[in-house]
Chains A and B, each alone.
Chain A
Amino acid sequence: MPKPFHTVLAGTLLLLGLWSPLAQALTITVASFPDLDRAARAALPRWRALHPDIEVKIVSRQYADHHTAMTAALATGSGLPDVMALDLRFIGKFAAGRGLSDLGAPPFQAQQLRAQFVAYSWPQGTSPRGEFVAMPTDIGPGTLLYRQDLMARAGISEAELTGSWEQFIAAGIKLKAATGAYLLADSTDIRDIVLRTGLAPGEGLYFDSQGRVLVDSPRFVRAFELGRAARRAGIDAHAPAWTNDWVAGFRRDKIASQMMGAWLAGHLKNWLAPASAGQWRSTQLPNGVFASYGGSFYAIPAKSEHKQAAWDFIRFMCADAETQLQSLRTLDSFPALKAAQQDALFDEPMPYLGGQRARRLWREIASQVQAVPVHRLDALATDVVRAEYELVVSKGKDIPSALADARAMIEHRVRRP
């Protein structure tokens, strides 16, 4: 064999050897939904600098489509991403199956990170079998956002709004008489928050730790009674969240407060009610309640082919303070990571909230929220309770009958083999 050929061959092999790491650069797929995908995209430049050997491909679908697609992918085992973003409300359903990796088990050992996260967020990602299947990235400490200008016009103090539920409803009547505005978007806002109040340790919203149905407990009776009282007082706009009427209510100064996760302040500022900037304030939920609204998580499908890289990405998104702060700046999402909550950003005044340093309050709320376990039938129980509540407030059905019917309906489902 002539020498030049040897030289060419050696050179080619050397080039191939040099280039092969690049040619075979690992690509992981992250399936996400708006606006969580924006946080991941914003974090990519830093990720590339830290992990030049792992490419990240973000596939984003609309909120409902994403969760439907993930259900189908887990069902068929095809089209699975390496990292799966999940909204809190879907965790129960996804955690009930065995399609997600246990992040608490080797090689992930996620429990080592537990102390770094807001206490209540960790159980939210834990399945009834005790497997930790979804890592929290952002949380929604519950707050009452209200229009300070409308309250001032009606002579309502913040103490009246945050006192007892009876005081809150009385304030709503006063507000309606003075300004014509509704204190609540929908009476279900009260119902839902009272349902989250006074849970026994280990008790879920609808099921206790033994899986027994709780929907006719005093907690539900109280929630239904207060919701009905608000409806009868005429202080709600009959506008469930995210509907056209809800959006119009904010824009036309017809809805004066909203109990929701702290992240709503970002939505109000960006698109719901930018015109009323400076007029909104944030405070504690009424009646001394601490609750959370929603949250986003990352999970790894059990059939993912690049679990280690996926885990690196999840840690980068969830357990890296700088990434979490960047998400906060990008989305106004509230970090689940406690280290991120200690940043000076939390002491900055928020112009949209009239210069209020609201993130301090939200941090305090987050530290007080109690963990609520999820159940695989939470989605069904939610629908059943909503339907019965509707019959109570609009058709006059009595509360004990409504709750008894709700219980029978949920038990019908629970009794399935």
Chain B
Amino acid sequence: MKSLLRQLGGRAAAPYLFVAPFFLLFAAFGLFPLLFSIVLSLHQWDASAGLGAMQWVGLQNYWYALTDPWFRSSLGHTFWYGLAAGLPQHLLALPLAYYIHRRLKRSRNFVVGSYFLPYITSSVAIALIFSTLLSKDFGFINLILPGTPRDWLGDADYAMPAIAFVVFWRYLGWNLVLYLSALQVIDESLYEAATLDGAGPWQQFRHITLPLLRPMIYFAVTMTIIGSLQLFDEPFILVDSESGVAPAVMTTAMFMYRMAFSYGDFGTASAISWLLFLVIAALSWGNHRLFGQAGGEHGR
């Protein structure tokens, strides 16, 4: 090793040598696909005919995607899931984390672990269990609910809320852990001083906890935005892709997958992925404007 280092310029070369594997892997599996997908989005390509069959079409794939009714509806569904599943995650995780942090002592690890468990469980296993629970004729949910059995996964009116619930349930624990970790670094003396000044629990939460949590809220909401806009697993597994209801619950990531692997149009699929990237970037920027800047000030 010593002689190798010497040949490469001594100690100065060592750091580059050690980080090289990462950059090589990143170039092969990160950068190249990224650049290739940009190129692909500007071509029409019948994948089964090989790389030689790529035809330059400029921005036509983007135009085609933007004029496709299923792309627009899939984007609408994606936003809907983002709001219906993403928003409650934070609205519930934040006060829940606060409660666990302030009130629970002995049972805290157990409670946090329980909430976190869905996050580390395989999405396939979760979707399979929920598809059984939500079965129209034989599912547990319909068994305990009064009235006519609902076709939870066969009717878009029910399927979308059902999917949103599964996503909410799954990621609640993740956000809970994020907020809990942020709460633990807030200086306890701030609360003591506030108590001495006569501030109640709500005032302490409103004027101490919330402002100091802003950096974490910014991070957690950004992660939710990115995750929600890339939602794929749960709707893909819960709703039979061959049923007529599938397009009515389809997310943009699912539409992208179908465009490539069912309809064989990899060029448009790549264009959709870049359009989705633009949407994610725009929303993340909006989130930065909302939480990030103020959070940064508090975080300093």
Contact = CB atoms under 8 A, between A and B. Distances in A.
Partners in one complex: yes
Interface of A: 67-68, 71-72, 74-77, 93-94, 96-100, 188, 237-245, 248-249, 252, 254, 303, 376-377, 379-380, 383, 386-391, 393-394, 409, 412-413, 416-417
B263 interface: yes
B57 to A, nearest CB: 7
Interface stretch (B94-102, B103-111, B133-141, B160-168): B133-141
B53 interface: yes
Interface string B257-300: 01001111010000000000000000000000000000000000
A391 B132 CA distance: 25
A244 B243 CA distance: 13
Most buried by B among A77, A244, A393: A244
A244 B132 contact: yes
A74 B50 contact: yes
Contacts of A94: 48
Interface stretch (B61-69, B113-121, B191-199): B61-69
B258 A383 contact: yes
Nearest to A249: B137
A74 B244 contact: no
Contacts of B131: 243-244
B47 A97 contact: yes
B48 A417 contact: no
A417 B57 contact: yes
Interface stretch (B12-20, B181-189, B226-234, B245-253): B245-253
The 9 tightest CB contacts between A and B, nearest first, are: A390-B244, A97-B48, A75-B47, A97-B49, A386-B244, A99-B48, A387-B247, A74-B48, A97-B46
Given A71-B264, A416-B64, A417-B44, A248 B138 contact: yes
17 contacts: A74-B47, A74-B50, A75-B45, A75-B266, A76-B50, A77-B50, A93-B263, A93-B264, A96-B48, A239-B136, A241-B242, A383-B246, A386-B243, A386-B247, A390-B245, A391-B244, A409-B69
Contacts of A240: 154, 240, 242-243
Interface residues of B, number: 40
B151 A238 contact: yes
B151 A244 contact: no
A379 B244 contact: no
Contacts, number: 119
B51 A376 contact: no
B53 A97 contact: yes
A72 B261 CA distance: 9
Given A75-B51, A93-B264, A242-B240, 8 more contacts: A74-B50, A76-B51, A97-B50, A188-B244, A377-B263, A380-B263, A391-B244, A394-B245
B136 A416 contact: no
Given A244-B131, A252-B138, A99 B50 contact: yes
A97 B131 CA distance: 37
A379 B51 contact: no
Contacts of B60: 416-417
Contacts of A391: 244
Nearest to A99: B48
Contacts of A248: 135, 137-138
Contact of A71 (B57, B246, B261): B261
Nearest to A405: B69
Contacts of A249: 137
B48 A379 contact: no
Contacts of B155: 394
B48 A71 contact: yes
A237 B154 CA distance: 11
A399 B266 CA distance: 32
Contacts of B137: 237, 239, 245, 248-249, 254
Contact of A238 (B154, B242, B246, B264): B154
B263 A379 contact: yes
B139 to A, nearest CB: 9
A116 B135 CA distance: 46
Most buried by B among A239, A389, A391: A239
Contact of B264 (A96, A242, A383): A96
A238 B136 contact: yes
B136 A387 contact: no
A390 B248 contact: yes
B49 A412 contact: no
B252 to A, nearest CB: 16
B261 A68 contact: yes
B160 to A, nearest CB: 14
Contacts of A68: 261
A71 B247 CA distance: 23
B262 A75 contact: no
Contacts of A254: 137
Nearest to A379: B262
Contacts of A380: 262-263
B135 A244 contact: yes
Nearest to A77: B50
B50 A387 contact: no
A379 B246 CA distance: 14
A393 B46 CA distance: 35
B247 to A, nearest CB: 4
A271 B123 CA distance: 26
A94 B258 CA distance: 15
Contact of A389 (B48, B57, B135, B244): B244
Contacts of A389: 244
B49 A387 contact: no
A215 to B, nearest CB: 14
Contacts of B50: 74-77, 97-99, 303
A254 B136 CA distance: 13
A380 B265 CA distance: 11
A143 B242 CA distance: 21
Contacts of A244: 131-132, 135, 138
Contacts of A241: 242
A417 B263 CA distance: 15
A244 B152 CA distance: 13
A245 B135 contact: yes
B197 to A, nearest CB: 59
Contact of B48 (A75, A252, A409): A75
A195 B138 CA distance: 31
Interface string B78-108: 0000000000000000000000000000000
